[in-house]
Structure 1
Amino acid sequence: MKNLNHNIWRRSRPFVLGMMLCSSIAFAQSTNPVIDAIVKEETTNSQLEKLGQELLDGIGPRLVGTPQMKMANDWAVAKYKSWDIPARNEKWGEWRGWERGISHIDMVSPRVKSLEGTQLAWSPGMGKKTATAEVIILPDLADSVAFQQWLPNVKGKFVMISMCQPTGRPDYNWQEFATKESFEKMKAGRTALTDAWRKRISKTGYTGKTLPVALEKAGAVGIITNNWSAGFGVDKIFSAYTKIVPTIDIALEDYSLLYRLSESGIKPVIKVHTESKELGVVPTFNTIAEIKGTEKPNEYVMLSAHFDSWDGGTGATDNGTGTLTMMEAMRLLKKFYPHPKRTILVGHWGSEEEGLNGSRAFVEDHPEIVGNLQALFNQDNGTGRVVNLSGQGFADAKDYLTRWLAAVPDTIKNRIKTNFPGQPGGGGSDFASFVAVGAPGFSLSSLNWSYGAYTWHTNRDTYDKIVFDDLSNNAMLAAIMAYMASEDPAKTSTTKTEGIKWPAQIKATRRGGLDQ
């Protein structure tokens, strides 16, 4: 009988579980028709994947000063207008214009092998030329005098200026498989190598920023780096400091190969061709969209996400995901809350990666909005569902944020850890631009999903890393919080908690990369 009952349960389980699931969903529904409609639309008709394909696959990375950044600005304006949401590109500054081109990197001796590498942002191109040259390692010399004596040796060569990592395996892989003694030995060796390499750079008399320029002036045909991001096959891709010759990040596996060959006296030779272009001075924009308020049009609720990215990947989780979240939230709000009490704005900021410049410029240029801000919700750090919300040091934030959060479905809200009053953010993302002037800006902080090692500013920050279920949760959360903030009869208090040191306002850089 026991086995028979078990079999009956197994056969009926899908029906029973389905009834339980339907009951739980019905129980979780609010009595607010706007919120219910937002949740239903997003769970049955989300546009996030389509938006992601258009932006990330179609347009790609959005480095400030590149044609792709302006293409993204124009795409967002057109998309908002297709939803009957007025939108505009608002100029806030100028930047060094640059466009990434074709890159080919091959080892041609002692054998042929195509290498994985990425030209750094704003690196000089080579036009139609190709350079074939030996790769040498920056030597460990006694001091800057010895370095100057050695410097003529770089003429006609590619110079490697990054240390050779002792392992390409991330620490979590070592922790899972290595003996404790082996893991500790590797870490100690890596620490020693890192310290020694730092001293090697210092003894040249230059810094990591000025050394590449000294090498190119001495006749190097290119600078080779490796900025490993502590994960399998992943590097961080930032900007070049050279003005004449290309700077290329070569992935750890291939960089280590070249390093070992050179160190052993084999003298590897590589062939490099890069076609990036300088585009002069170009304007930079924030994209702003607006759903006009009816009762209090001069009070504002804002959604916020930076639009720009580094360009080693496509900027999918930094900050394509935040961008998509806020666009989808605005679509939901326009469809089900087209006449908000307060004006709802969204800001898609430029040049966050170089110092929150777009949002800082907006704060400087729009005191009438910042001074009448009900709340701003910013999302930036990766693909994960939102799990943290801080009061940013505002004494009364707990009252209104908790009240608004109560309207969010339990399946989303119960995952979020709140921290009140919290500490005011001094940087990190664009909400800090508003907090610095005492405006109620809040960060919707996300679950990690190995963001720091694998997608933050890396060559692996691509569409396939997005978790769209988490983004749907975030879009619902952002839309509902904006709706609740707009509907709230009370104006939010921006009283600062006593005893907390407040960050200073930092002015936007409005001419970037033009003095290099």
Structure 2
Amino acid sequence: MKKLILLFMICCVFSSTIVFSQSKEEIINSIVEEGEGNSQLESLAHELMDLVGPRLVGTPQMKNSNDWVISKYEDWGIEAENQEYGKWRGWERGITHVDMLEPRVVSLSAMQLAWSPSTSKKGIIANVITFPEEVEDSISFQKWLSNVKGKIVLISMPQPTGRPDYNWEEFAKEESFEKMKEERDAQTEAWREKINATGYNYRNFNEALENAGAVGLIQSRWSNGFGANKIFSANTKKIPVVDMSLEDYGMIYRLAKSSNTPKLKIVSESKDLGTVPTFNTIAEIKGTQKPEEYVILSAHLDSWDGATGATDNGTGTITMMEAARILKKVYPNPKRTILIGHWASEEQGLNGSRAFVEDHPEIVENVQAVFNQDNGTGRVVRISGQGFLHAYDYIGRWLEAVPDTYKDEIETTFPGTPSRGGSDYASFVAADAPAFSLSSLSWSYWNYTWHTNLDTYDKIVFDDVRNNAILTAIMTYMASEDEETTSREKAVLPVNSRTGEQYSWPEPRSPQRDGGKD
């Protein structure tokens, strides 16, 4: 009789294992079918990039994006809320129009930088002046400064070519290509030395020109790609700062140096909105068996506003939203709670995620895993263990369940080393939570879309984003269902070859909660 009971129990265990295996397979198949057959990515991208637009912290568009995310989650039956964590300088971009009036009339390609002070509707009209060729020291620079009063100052080095290096490599003679690079390197180094000699740096140089009476500043921060410029912040209090296309900037610069002094008109309207609250948007699918343990889907919602922030980080945002939508539909009762964090002010120093980590230690202590996506539109090709000694065990288990189509290009590094910055997963790693970057294929991200005027909807590769949403949903499902709690044991970090000292684990850093004033 005892043998029969034992045999019956063994059969039951075996049967339940088969049922679980089939159930898991069915859920993964359902995730794939929903992600491929009913994808919402194109409509999400259209609404976020085309309708909401860029999401600079402190702007009405950033708050609109917070509210838009909540409305989408509500449509899918997912609870979400905006969590205020700080304040920022409120600002709204208006019209920018720059024209050359002399020696001929032409409209120029330019846009104001973030938080630039506004001109009047009539704008400003003034001659331009270039930075002097020779600045020996801070004394000679102070003597020259009186020349900028009433002028528009050109503050960037004029680039010798607007062709990216790969274009030269394809078409130029080798000696011509090498000559260009040598001359450009020498010019760049001379410009850097000239700036250093002033006694100022790139952070306070604009302020010095403003204080000396300049009425406007023009930069051209080329991103080493056709038509691509980096668009960051103005760093002035009263006068406008605009970024101009490489080709127009070069023309203006050459005219000024050849004594054909250009006269420009700059209309650069904006609104100073005082101090406004800043929010993270947090969504939740409550766990049923271990509700106090968490799998977190992570992506920053904010962007710079030179374009619409499509690949930085619109694609990361819609990846996590789509993964959450799929999971809610095919896996509505997860074992662990699934949180989706849409962070603000990542671009100014991971402020939103650092605030969340600082404000919610009870969640951070019980994180099973964080999956973060934030480097462009490409399919995921790299995952690092971030220095967690046993990351191979659990990441390996979860990846094993992913169909080859969605993982066959992924290279893993275990245990890896902990990130100290770069994106929001670093905020969690510093607090000892197992957080991982789903790092993407480049698609020329750094030169063409990262913080540029070209980061727009048309750069999104939806097949790759769809791949990432399905991969994220499956990894989240596996992490939620895992019988084991992930280990936080840290690997012994390597020695820094430069200093000879062993690397240390990053320390948590407090966010900037009252920013953007300077």
Q: Same fold (TM over 0.5)?
A: yes
Residue of 346, 362, 377 corresponding to 2:356: 362
Question: Which consecutive residues of structure 2, in runs of 5 or more, have no partner in the other structure?
Answer: 1-21, 495-503
Partner of 2:46: 53
Runs (4+) off by over 3 Å: none
Q: CA 1:88–1:291 in 2, change beyond 3 Å: closer, same or farther?
A: same
Partner of 1:6: none
* 1:126–1:274 Cα contact (<8 Å) kept: yes
Superposed displacement of residue 209, structure 1: 1.9
1:94 aligns to 2:87 (yes or no): yes
Return the letter of the residue paired with 1:458: T
For residues 89 and 32 of structure 1, the distance between their equivalents in structure 2, rounded to whole angstroms, comes to: 35
Superposed displacement of residue 344, structure 1: 0.3
Partner of 1:337: 331
Question: Equivalences for 1:109-124 in 2 at 5 Å?
Answer: 109-124=102-117
* 1:297–1:343 Cα contact (<8 Å) kept: yes
* 2:280–2:343 Cα contact (<8 Å) kept: yes
Question: Equivalences for 1:35-54 in 2 at 5 Å?
Answer: 35-54=28-47
For residues 477 and 343 of structure 2, the distance between their equivalents in structure 1, rounded to whole angstroms, comes to: 22
Greater Cα offset, 113-122 or 47-56: 113-122
Question: Which consecutive residues of structure 1, in runs of 5 or more, have no partner in the other structure?
Answer: 1-28
Partner of 2:462: 468
Return the letter of the residue paired with 1:138: F
* 1:406–1:413 Cα contact (<8 Å) kept: no
For residues 240 and 464 of structure 1, the distance between their equivalents in structure 2, rounded to whole angstroms, comes to: 27
Q: Please, what TM-score do these two structures have when normalized by structure 1?
A: 0.93
**What are the Cα deviations for residues 149-208 of structure 1, in whole angstroms up to 9, with x where unaligned?**
222211111000111111100000111111111111011001110111112212222222
SS class of match (2:467): helix
Q: Please, what TM-score do these two structures have when normalized by structure 2?
A: 0.93
* 2:387–2:493 Cα contact (<8 Å) kept: no
Partner of 1:488: 482
Superposed displacement of residue 507, structure 1: 1.1
* 1:30–1:36 Cα contact (<8 Å) kept: no
For residues 324 and 117 of structure 1, the distance between their equivalents in structure 2, rounded to whole angstroms, comes to: 30
1:260 aligns to 2:263 (yes or no): no
Superposed displacement of residue 146, structure 1: 2.0
Return the letter of the residue paired with 1:347: G
Return the letter of the residue paired with 1:511: D
Partner of 1:350: 344
Return the letter of the residue paired with 2:458: D
Partner of 2:286: 292
1:409 aligns to 2:403 (yes or no): yes
For residues 175 and 508 of structure 2, the distance between their equivalents in structure 1, rounded to whole angstroms, comes to: 49
Partner of 2:512: 509
* 1:30–1:407 Cα contact (<8 Å) kept: no
For residues 31 and 490 of structure 1, the distance between their equivalents in structure 2, rounded to whole angstroms, comes to: 16
For residues 432 and 400 of structure 1, the distance between their equivalents in structure 2, rounded to whole angstroms, comes to: 19
Return the letter of the residue paired with 1:200: K
Superposed displacement of residue 440, structure 1: 0.4
For residues 66 and 131 of structure 2, the distance between their equivalents in structure 1, rounded to whole angstroms, comes to: 42
For residues 402 and 141 of structure 2, the distance between their equivalents in structure 1, rounded to whole angstroms, comes to: 62
What is the number of residues matched between the two proteins?
487
Superposed displacement of residue 457, structure 1: 0.4
**What are the Cα deviations for residues 418-465 of structure 1, in whole angstroms up to 9, with x where unaligned?**
111011111100000000011000000000000000000000000000
**What are the Cα deviations for residues 213-272 of structure 1, in whole angstroms up to 9, with x where unaligned?**
121122111011111000001100011111110011111010001011111110011110
Partner of 1:10: none
Return the letter of the residue paired with 2:113: L
Superposed displacement of residue 325, structure 1: 0.1
Superposed displacement of residue 480, structure 1: 0.5
Partner of 1:161: 155
SS class of match (2:347): coil
Partner of 1:22: none
Partner of 1:142: 136
- Identity, in percent, stands at 65
Partner of 2:386: 392
Residue of 155, 165, 181 corresponding to 2:175: 181
